[in-house]
Structure 1
Amino acid sequence: MDRFVVTYRIVAEDEADAAARAASIALEDTVEIPRDVVPAGYVEDVVLGRVESVTARGGGVWTALIGYHVDAVGRELPQLLNVILGNASILRGVKAVDLAPDAALAERFPGARFGAAGVRRLTGRASGGFVCPVIKPQGSSAETLARLCYLSAVAGADIVKEDHGLANQDAAPFRERIGACAEAVGRANAERRDQGDTTQALYFANLCGPPHQLRDQAYYAKESGAHGILLIPGLHGFDAMFELAQDPDFDLPIMAHPSHLGPYVLSPDHGYGHGMLFGQLMRLAGADISVFPNHGGRFGFSVDECEEIVRACRDPEGLGPAILPSPGGGMSPERLPDMMAQYGEDCVYLLGGSLLRAGDRIGELIAEMRAALSGRD
């Protein structure tokens, strides 16, 4: 195959309308000129998107497969996204739902630096699901947040993640908070080692700055002792994540947060499919862990949509190594057995507000989760 293929869900009046819409997508996302003036030769044969098939699905819905040559992309991620769903995102009734890469695309976009296997290696956790308390809320002091980090890490957490709402607020400025939290997790890890524990907690600091400060913030977090970063591609851009993931000097795992991305998936007729956005595109852009709202929580994702995300994160045919799905959004320890049955071991299990309800029992709660995710009573 000399083209990567994007699958689109198209709403159309009839077969002719569906075929015309597919042809329009192929034009709009590549040459963006009328079909009759597309130059013959290289532009028409290579650069122009190619409609591979249009198939009726019933109820006024069709599936279109469109192939694109990597020459239409070049080597930059923004242009790849522009080809996948650029002008087509403005067309009514068009939703991108799947990406099948070819060898050329896979070579230019290698995906996550660590992936699921790399994160497991960094934690030293040979098996079992990952316990990930979320440190919050904003408005807390750096000292308070650091204490939560310590209590979670010393009790056996695998990843201690800052909440995505912790930015550079006066209550806990970025540099002060990062240093305090990194020190707290480092101290907890030292105590775990002294007790013979061969695993460690990874502290993920949330990046929050404007574009010209983001790289400096990432390196400050690393130099302060953070083991990874949390980034919001819906705000900072997928390319910001891609650049850090491909930077050999940065070399830390990245967790992607779904904030600001809801409008891209919530409509059945526009945007992206759940698995494509939170699985395939996160892998493409270099996320090692993809956070998404679990079904039954505060948000509205269905069981099928969540399973679609997980399959895309783990698909062996996807770009780069498999990554870790991370369901959250109003989860509780009581739901853990059902979540484990659904998602299995290669999953990062978030716990936010429920953690704070534990009060002085935070350590006990983390230990209980750790035991449950390791298959111990």
Structure 2
Amino acid sequence: MNQRFEADYLIETALDPRRAAETMAGEQSSGTFLRLAGETDALKLRAAARVESLEELEARPAPSLPGAAGDCGQGWRRARVTLSWPLDTIGPSLPNLMSTVAGNLFELHAFSGLRLTDIRLPPAFAAAGPGPRFGIEGTRRLAGVGAGPLIGTIVKPSVGLSPAATADLVATLAGAGIDFIKDDELQSDGPACPFEDRARAVMRVINDHSDKTGKKVMFAFNLTGEVDEMRRRHDLIRDLGGTCVMVNLNSVGVSGFLALSRHAELPIHAHRNGWGYLSRHPALGWSYTAWSKIWRLAGADHMHVNGLANKFCEEDDSVIRSARAQLTPLWSDNPCIAMPVFSSAQTVLQPPETFRQLGSADLIYAAGGGILGHPDGPAAGVESLRAAWAAAMAGADLDDWARSHPPLARALAQARGITS
């Protein structure tokens, strides 16, 4: 029996949903807007997509998106649909998988809403893609953090610091006991802060700190650029003794990311900036569960998932679903698990609920103001976050825990003052 891959969608249409789903299947496989002589029954049996399931939902009184075919008199009908395709049509190719499950169907006239909610792939994709080479275990080993979250932060201001000023900030954070630091996604290789100069200055500080303390801070350097540039930058970080690199996924695309990940010898911190234009409308785009599977297969070791009570528009339930997805194996013999990264206005307030809902501390917890803005300085900021996570994992009340952890008490008072 030929292997097939599947994709789930939420659709909205003025047509009969079954007819609309058949239109999707035809558009994304062997069909076109009219039957051609070459589209024989034998060819369709061999190559066509098919509708595996359809569950109709409650209709809407108005279309979610413009440009769809007119109202059929029954409102705008919604359904959950699963399509499948034979693997033989594309092989285990991630770029062509994206073209197939998320191609022209988003602009079909039949739909006033269409969202890709999940994908399921045969094991052939595991053999073809590099997958996360470090993931949770390798990241913990390189960062020297055996249990609990990696406490991290982002270089701020995002841009404007010189290489020397960046290194000075890293020295402060390393001295504060931090586990992980990352470039902001806006900082890569501008004339004001050239990549090589920044890398050498930062790694000098990190290596000196490691020589003195035995702890090497993991710094994710933003490599984003053209393929040859990214490979060259990766090799520089590797040769300087660095332990992590970072890429802006939407900026380099799947093929660019694959070209780097197949070359890489360091963990890849995958940043999702731009995610909102793929997801913000609930009737259009991707779910993070589906989208992130592509990048895990392509070799992402860390995946950003936003954070609870974040500064963006994403709801907490969506954040937790995204994080759980990173920790959910794709196959029993090849889990392809990435480490979720929580960020965006994270403080000492969110760890208890984050841990309760996720059920795991296998994550990077990145806080900017929650560390650098602590009333008693960055070291107290790091200590306060570690205490908040210790309380969360022990199932203890934060205020009770804070009675014996003064940095946490100060951070709680500050965070509540900001959010009140």
TM-score normalised to structure 1 length: 0.89
Partner-residue secondary structure (3-state), 2:220 = strand
The letter of the residue matching 2:356 is A
Give the corresponding residue for 1:334: 349
8 Å Cα contact 2:302/2:340 also seen in 1: yes
Task: Please give the alpha-carbon distance, in whole angstroms, between the structure 1 residues aligned to 2:116 and 2:206.
Answer: 41
The verdict on how the C-alpha distance between 1:374 and 1:171 changes in structure 2, with shifts beyond 3 A counting, is: farther
Alpha-carbon distance in 1 for matches of 2:43, 2:285: 27
- Corresponding residue of 1:270: 284
**TM-superposed deviation, 1:184:** 1.4
Answer yes or no: is the 8 Å Cα contact 2:132–2:300 preserved in 1: yes
For 1:340 and 1:282, the matched residues in 2 are separated by: 24
1:368 Cα deviation (Å)?
Answer: 2.9
Cα distance in 1 for partners of 2:274, 2:212 equals 38
What amino acid maps onto 1:270 in structure 2? L
Larger mean CA deviation between 361-370 and 91-100 belongs to: 361-370
Shift of residue 147 of structure 1? Answer: 1.9
| Cα distance between partner residues in 2 of 1:227 and 1:43 | 50
Question: Is the CA contact (8 Å cut-off) linking 1:283 and 1:320 kept in structure 2?
Answer: no
Checking the alignment, whether the CA contact within 8 Å between 1:275 and 1:305 is kept in structure 2 is no
Residue 348 of structure 1 is matched in structure 2 by 364
Distance 2:310 2:142 in 1: 29
Deviation at 1:212, TM superposition (A): 4.4
* Gapped regions of structure 1 (runs ≥ 5): 194-198
User: Is 2:150 the counterpart of 1:130?
Assistant: yes
> Counterpart of 2:98 in structure 1: which amino acid?
L
Corresponding residue to 1:106 among 126, 141, 147: 126
CA contact (8 A) 1:142 1:181 kept: yes
- Structure 1 residue identity aligned to 2:362: D
In structure 2, do the counterparts of structure 1 residues 295 and 334 end up closer, same or farther at CA, with 3 Å as the change threshold? Answer: closer
Give the conservation status (yes or no) of the 8 Å contact 2:297–2:336: no
Distance 2:41 2:12 in 1: 32
Within-5 A mapping of 1:1-377: 2-13=3-14, 17-31=16-30, 33-34=32-33, 36-37=35-36, 39-40=39-40, 43-59=43-59, 60-91=77-108, 92=111, 93-137=113-157, 138-193=159-214, 200-247=216-263, 250-277=264-291, 279-317=292-330, 320-343=335-358, 344-358=360-374, 361-374=377-390
CA contact under 8 A between 2:341 and 2:363: conserved in structure 1?
Answer: yes
Alignment check: 8 A CA contact 1:130 1:373 kept: no
How much does 1:133 deviate?
Answer: 1.2
Per-residue deviation, 1:211: 4.2
**How far is the alpha carbon of 1:187 from its aligned partner?**
1.9
Deviation string, structure 1 residues 91-127 (Cα, Å, up to 9, x no partner): 3321110011112233223521122222123223221
Unaligned runs of 5+ in 2: 60-76, 395-404, 406-420
The count of aligned residue pairs is 367
Query: More displaced, 305-314 or 211-220?
Result: 211-220
- The percentage of aligned residue pairs carrying the same residue is 25
Question: Greater CA deviation, 138-147 or 68-77?
Answer: 68-77
Change over 3 Å in CA distance of 1:106–1:342 after alignment to 2: same
Q: 1:192-245 CA deviation, whole Å, 9 max, x = no partner?
A: 22xxxxx54211101132344222222222223321111111111122222222
Which structure has the higher relative contact order (CA within 8 Å, separation 6+)?
1
Specify the SS of the correspondent of 2:349: helix
Query: 1:306 deviation in Å?
Result: 0.9
Give the CA deviation at 1:61: 1.8
Please list the CA deviations of residues 302-340 of structure 1 after superposition, one character each: whole Å capped at 9, or x if unmatched. 122112101211112357421111121122233333333
On the 8 A contact 2:5/2:85 being kept in 1, the answer is yes
Give 1:281 deviation, angstroms: 2.7
Normalised by the size of structure 2, how large is the TM-score? 0.80
Residue-by-residue CA offset, 1:231-282 (whole Å, 9 max, x unaligned): 11111112222222233xx2211111121121111111111013222x3233
Between Structure 1 and Structure 2, whose CA radius of gyration is higher? 2
Change in Cα spacing, 1:364 to 1:189, as seen in structure 2 (3 Å) is farther
Query: What is the CA distance between 1:5 and its match in structure 2?
Result: 0.9
SS at match of 1:333: coil
Task: Work out whether residues 295 and 306 of structure 1, in 8 Å CA contact, stay in contact via their aligned partners in 2.
Answer: yes
Contact 1:156 1:370 in 2 (8 A): no
Kept after mapping to 2: 8 A contact 1:4/1:105: no
Output the CA distance in 1 between the equivalents of 2:192 and 2:328: 42
For the Cα contact (< 8 Å) 1:154–1:189, is it kept in 2? no
Q: Which residue of 1 aligns with 2:71?
A: none
Counterpart Cα distance in 2 of 1:187 and 1:342: 39
* Matches of 2:142 and 2:96, distance apart in 1: 33
Q: 1:158 to 1:342 in 2, by over 3 A?
A: farther
Match of 1:196 in 2: none
